């Protein structure tokens, strides 16, 4: 695949060392840098599917606790994820050497091509919509688009695509750590805005102001496409054109089969033909509409081509990802970790698996978020047949210092609400508890954005053995 030229991007030194390199975004950035001819090395605390991909591509990576000795002597720049603390040994060693240490937020600002970057932001749906947008852009007939997205494309098994020189670039713009404020895109999507990452913003009002700053940075000759529930003040902050779902963009639902929707989208002076998505969920209809809208309105893709590109999108790893059917019991994993994500995922599940009992293994994400959203978690889990709650995942522990809630507290409150709920303990132990309670007429959903996906092999094996013994 062709690489971009140096003149297209902000200048970066030759040897870049990456801390937290196994993260969803950081690993994608590492791959783009390597494709552009940089020497890339890195370190991460734990192995993951992302670290395995880097290893397969020949990018040297140390897995384990950080040590100053891991910093290469010839490194020119250190980039770190938000999860890497200020007192990390390699950060300290780099500063002692006089090297610049930048965060991922600044790095992506330098990696995206000026004048051709289309960014997708929002509390939910960023990853899916970013890949849908890339699919829509691929139908333009021009240079192939690039992408940097925080999730592996289900078919291509990648989170980064270099793209051709002169091609558009789809980037997932995360609000955490105010990363998206380092971008100045030609066009943008905001899927939705809900109270999250308040450890960064202090309040919901602060978060909304962050999104206002993000859209205000979009080129005034470009386009911003907004989801139906984005606050009006975000639209008011846009300097150029705005298309809003439910106003300038109108979705027509035509049919549904087990959670898969057939739809048509109308925009200002244009309309797509009818098209059917390949991924389930009413929420994905909105994601698709936003992607088609930006591709048509900002990049000039034909409505038919953009719709075709979105319809062919096969999904992304950790989003309604099938873990197979074992002894008649289907297992599905989803990254959902916010109450809204859990709710819409389970709504899609009921459409996809009608008349099945819904069993969920849930790994909460961050103790402070679990405490703040406790009532919402109870509400979104209330209608399930059984819930096993794993220990709270504690990424960014150096940041998440506010008072929080643990799994036991959530389980106690779920039981008071009348739900069959159980404490699972560690991810491995939770998988055992979960498998033991599954029934032949149930579907098992594993939800969470932490390391809960690491139990896949053991869980599928346990479920297969359990139901094989009942034949």
pLDDT tens sequence across 214-263: 999 999 999 999 999 999 999 999 999 999 999 999 999 999 888 899 99
Instruction: List, edge to edge, every strand of the sheet that includes 15-19.
Output: 61-63, 39-44, 15-19, 77-80, 100-103
User: Do the domain assignments include residue 434?
Assistant: yes
Is 89 in the same domain as 225?
no
User: Measured between alpha carbons, how far is 263 from 288 in angstroms, rounded to an integer?
Assistant: 10
Is 37 in the same domain as 174?
no
322 has pLDDT over 60? yes
Is 218 in the same domain as 333?
no
Task: Count structural domains, the chain.
Answer: 3
The CATH number linked to 338 is 3.90.190.20
Instruction: Report the pLDDT value the prediction gives residue 5, as an integer from 0 to 100.
Output: 42
**Predicted confidence (pLDDT) per residue in 128-180, tens digit:** 999 999 999 998 888 999 999 988 787 887 889 999 999 999 999 988 878 89
User: Do the domain assignments include residue 5?
Assistant: no
Is 339 in the same domain as 355?
yes
Mean pLDDT lowest among 12-16, 93-97, 398-402, 413-417 = 398-402
- Kindly report the backbone phi and psi dihedral angles of residue 339, in degrees, each rounded to the nearest multiple of 5, phi listed first: -50, -40
6 has pLDDT over 50? no
Mean pLDDT lowest among 4-13, 139-148, 220-229, 372-381 = 4-13
User: Do the domain assignments include residue 2?
Assistant: no
User: Measured between alpha carbons, how far is 455 from 457 in angstroms, rounded to an integer?
Assistant: 6
User: Do the domain assignments include residue 1?
Assistant: no
Instruction: Report the pLDDT value the prediction gives residue 459, as an integer from 0 to 100.
Output: 94
Instruction: Report the pLDDT value the prediction gives residue 340, as an integer from 0 to 100.
Output: 87
Instruction: Report the pLDDT value the prediction gives residue 217, as an integer from 0 to 100.
Output: 96
User: Do the domain assignments include residue 4?
Assistant: no
Across the chain, mean pLDDT equals 90
User: Do the domain assignments include residue 368?
Assistant: yes
> What mean pLDDT is predicted for residues 444-455?
91
Length of the chain: 471
Instruction: Report the pLDDT value the prediction gives residue 469, as an integer from 0 to 100.
Output: 56
Instruction: Report the pLDDT value the prediction gives residue 9, as an integer from 0 to 100.
Output: 61
**What sign does the dihedral 43-47-49-54 (CA atoms) show?**
positive
User: Measured between alpha carbons, how far is 100 from 113 in angstroms, rounded to an integer?
Assistant: 22
The CATH number linked to 262 is 3.40.1190.10
**Predicted confidence (pLDDT) per residue in 96-116, tens digit:** 999 999 999 899 988 899 999
Instruction: Report the pLDDT value the prediction gives residue 402, as an integer from 0 to 100.
Output: 54
Instruction: Report the pLDDT value the prediction gives residue 7, as an integer from 0 to 100.
Output: 47
4 has pLDDT over 50? no
Last residue of a domain, one of 88, 106, 124: 106
Is 116 in the same domain as 241?
yes
> What mean pLDDT is predicted for residues 331-348?
89
Last residue of a domain, one of 276, 311, 346: 311
Give the best-scoring range by mean pLDDT among 8-17, 347-356, 401-410: 347-356
Instruction: Report the pLDDT value the prediction gives residue 397, as an integer from 0 to 100.
Output: 52
Give the domain extent around 166.
112-311
User: Do the domain assignments include residue 208?
Assistant: yes
When pLDDT is cut at 50, 70 and 90, the band that residue 1 belongs to is very low
Chain center to CA of 437 = 30
What b/e sequence results for 261-292 when a residue is b if at least 16 CB atoms lie within 10 Å of its CB, and e otherwise? bbbbbebeeeebeebebebbbebbbbbbbbbb
Instruction: Report the pLDDT value the prediction gives residue 197, as an integer from 0 to 100.
Output: 60
User: Measured between alpha carbons, how far is 266 from 297 in angstroms, rounded to an integer?
Assistant: 12
Last residue of a domain, one of 71, 106, 141: 106
User: Do the domain assignments include residue 394?
Assistant: yes
Instruction: Report the pLDDT value the prediction gives residue 8, as an integer from 0 to 100.
Output: 57
Show the 3-state SS of the chain.
Answer: CCCCCHHHCCCCCCEEEEECCCCHHHHHHHHHHHHCCCEEEEEECCCCHHHHHHHHCCCCEEECCCCHHHCCCCCCEEEECCCCCCCCHHHHHHHHHCCEEEEHHHHHHHHCCCCCEEEEECCCCHHHHHHHHHHHHHHHCCCCCEEECCCCECCCCCCEECCCCCCCEEEECCCHHHHHHHCCCCEEEECCCCCCCHHHHCCHHHHHHHHHHHHHCCCCCCEEEECCCCCHHHHHCCCCEEEEECCCEEEEEEEEECCEEEEEEEECCEECCCEECCCCCHHHHHHHHHHHHHHHHHHCCCHHHHHHHHHCCCCECCCCEEEEEECCEEEEEECCCCHHHHHHHHHHHHHHCCCCEEEEEECCECHHHHHHCHHHHHHHHCCCCEEEEECCECCCCCCCCCCCCCHHHHHHHHHHCCCCEEEEECHHHHHHHHHHHCCCCEEEEEECCCCHHHHHHHHHHHHHHHHHCCC
Is 303 in the same domain as 187?
yes
Is 372 in the same domain as 327?
yes
Is 462 in the same domain as 372?
yes
- Kindly report the backbone phi and psi dihedral angles of residue 361, in degrees, each rounded to the nearest multiple of 5, phi listed first: -105, 115
> What mean pLDDT is predicted for residues 301-320?
90
> What mean pLDDT is predicted for residues 193-213?
83
**Predicted confidence (pLDDT) per residue in 382-394, tens digit:** 889 999 999 999 8
User: Measured between alpha carbons, how far is 252 from 285 in angstroms, rounded to an integer?
Assistant: 10
Instruction: Report the pLDDT value the prediction gives residue 470, as an integer from 0 to 100.
Output: 55
Is 134 in the same domain as 72?
no
The CATH number linked to 43 is 3.40.50.720
Is 17 in the same domain as 126?
no
415 has pLDDT over 90? yes
User: Measured between alpha carbons, how far is 425 from 143 in angstroms, rounded to an integer?
Assistant: 50
Is 100 in the same domain as 238?
no
- Smallest CA-to-CA distance from 332 within 362, 290, 309 is with 362
Is 276 in the same domain as 294?
yes
């Amino acid at each position: 695949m062709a690489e971009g030229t140096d003149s297209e991007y902000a200048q970066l030194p030759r040897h870049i060392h990456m801390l937290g390199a196994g993260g969803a975004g950081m690993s994608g950035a590492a791959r783009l840098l390597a494709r552009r001819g940089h020497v890339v090395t890195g370190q991460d605390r734990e192995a993951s599917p992302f670290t395995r991909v880097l290893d397969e591509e020949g990018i040297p990576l140390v897995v384990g606790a950080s040590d100053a000795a891991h910093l290469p002597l010839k490194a020119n720049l250190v980039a770190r994820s938000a999860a890497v603390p200020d007192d990390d040994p390699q950060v300290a060693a780099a500063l002692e050497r006089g090297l610049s240490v930048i965060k991922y937020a600044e790095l992506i600002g330098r990696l995206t091509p000026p004048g051709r970057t289309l960014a997708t932001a929002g509390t939910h749906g960023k990853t899916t919509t970013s890949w849908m947008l890339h699919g829509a852009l691929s139908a333009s007939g021009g240079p192939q688009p690039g992408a940097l997205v925080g999730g592996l494309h289900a078919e291509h098994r990648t989170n980064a695509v270099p793209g051709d020189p002169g091609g558009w670039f789809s980037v997932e713009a995360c609000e955490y750590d105010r990363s998206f404020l380092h971008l100045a895109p030609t066009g943008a999507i905001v899927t939705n805005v809900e109270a999250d990452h308040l450890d960064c913003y202090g309040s919901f009002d602060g978060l909304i102001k962050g999104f206002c700053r993000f859209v205000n940075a979009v080129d005034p000759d470009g386009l911003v496409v907004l989801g139906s529930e984005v606050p009006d003040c975000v639209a008011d902050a846009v300097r150029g054109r705005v298309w809003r779902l439910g106003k300038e963009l109108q979705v027509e639902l035509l049919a549904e089969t087990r959670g898969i929707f057939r739809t048509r989208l109308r925009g200002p002076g244009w309309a797509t033909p009818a098209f059917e998505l390949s991924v389930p969920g009413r929420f994905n209809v909105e994601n698709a509409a936003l992607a088609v809208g930006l591709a048509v309105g900002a990049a000039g893709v034909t409505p038919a081509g953009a719709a075709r590109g979105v319809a062919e999108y096969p999904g992304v790893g950790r989003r309604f990802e099938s873990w197979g059917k074992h002894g008649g019991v289907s297992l599905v994993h989803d990254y959902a970790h916010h109450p809204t994500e859990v709710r819409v995922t389970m709504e899609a599940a009921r459409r996809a698996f009608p008349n099945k009992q819904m069993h969920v293994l849930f790994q909460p994400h961050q103790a402070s978020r679990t405490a703040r959203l406790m009532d919402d978690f109870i509400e979104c889990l209330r209608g399930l047949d059984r819930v096993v709650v794993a220990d709270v995942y504690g990424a960014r522990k150096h940041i998440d210092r506010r008072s929080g809630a643990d799994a036991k507290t959530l389980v106690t409150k779920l039981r008071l609400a009348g739900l069959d709920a159980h404490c699972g303990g560690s991810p491995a132990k939770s998988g055992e508890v979960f498998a033991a309670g599954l029934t032949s007429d149930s579907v098992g959903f594993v939800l969470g954005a932490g390391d809960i996906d690491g139990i896949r092999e053991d869980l599928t094996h346990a479920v297969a053995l359990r139901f094989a013994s009942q034949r």
